[in-house]
Amino acid sequence: MKITDYTQAIENGLTHADWHVRWDWVKKLETPPTPEQVERGLTDEHWVVRRAWVERMDYTPTPEAIERGLSGMDAASSHIPDDTLKYVQVSWIKRMDFTPTPEQIERGLMDKEWIVRQAWVWRMDYHPTPEQVERGLLDEHSSVRQAWAQRQDWTPTPEQVERGLRDLDKHVRVDWVRRLDFLPAPEQIERGLTDTHNRVREAWAQRMDWAPTPEQIEMGISDADADVVVAWLKRDDIAWSTTQIQRGLQHFSWDVRIISEFLMRKQWERCAQNTTTESYGSTETSCI
């Protein structure tokens, strides 16, 4: 096929009456598009085609195109439901070849659609203000609150930590437990270890900046959830007793039994290296 014929074929595909065909050509186009093709695509009447053009990274969008995309004011879109348009807007937010203005960031963080607010939280090329953080932590949608808990470029206040650890959404609580920029209080630890959701209890067991009591250890390895028990057995700051290891060897979970077998072998090695019996974190005084 001649170059001119191929160029015309591309143009015919990108301007086809069927949006499915236009979308397909945007996806399979191997050569950089012309500015005219980009502009026409970004203002296509169908949101799927517009999103496909936004997701292409072989052109530099103009400031006008960026503002149009971030504001959600797509051309010929008045007949399309608002929530559908947000997919185009989110694709614009995910592009990292432009620096958003403070006004665009603020507007995005206050968008009425949670998926847009979440996308702006995930964007890491700006430093949020304390007001933006606080507003985000109080967002009505749990996915937005979770996104803020996952950001590590801000330091929470004690009040924010306590509120996050008590969040009604289990996923938000888990991500707060995983933050390592605060030292949890004994009350927060105790409350977390008895949380109603297993992932929260598991996250607390995985956190290594606190020393568990014998009662907490026993409660942890007696947990009904195997993943929680595994998290406890993987802690390297606990000397497991013979009875605890043997209990693990009889656990219903294969993962717990495997880790317990590993701990048992480590205990055997210690016994072989010592001529006297040792205590392994309990009142027991003999090896297996």
Q: What is the pTM of this model?
A: 0.86
Please give the distance of CA 131 from its chain centroid, rounded to a whole number. Answer: 22
Q: Is the dihedral of CA 152, 157, 159, 161 positive or negative?
A: positive
Q: Give the 3-state secondary structure percentages of the chain, helix then strand then coil, rounded to 5.
A: 60, 0, 40
Please report the pLDDT score of residue 84 as a whole number. 61
pLDDT at 5: 75
Low-confidence ranges of the chain (pLDDT < 50): 75-82, 277-285
Which regions of the chain does DSSP assign to beta strands (E)? Answer: none
Structure letter (DSSP) for residue 81 = -
pLDDT in tens, 214-259: 999 999 999 999 999 999 999 999 999 999 999 999 999 999 999 9
Quote the pLDDT of residue 86: 87
Q: Read off the tokens for 4.
A: 């001119």
Tokens of 126: 């700006």
Q: What is the pLDDT of residue 273?
A: 82
Give the pLDDT confidence score for residue 3 in this predicted structure. 60
- Supply the pLDDT for residue 274: 76
Q: How far apart are CA 155 and CA 152, in angstroms?
A: 8
User: What secondary structure letter does DSSP report for 185?
Assistant: P
Q: Where are the domains of the chain?
A: 1-126
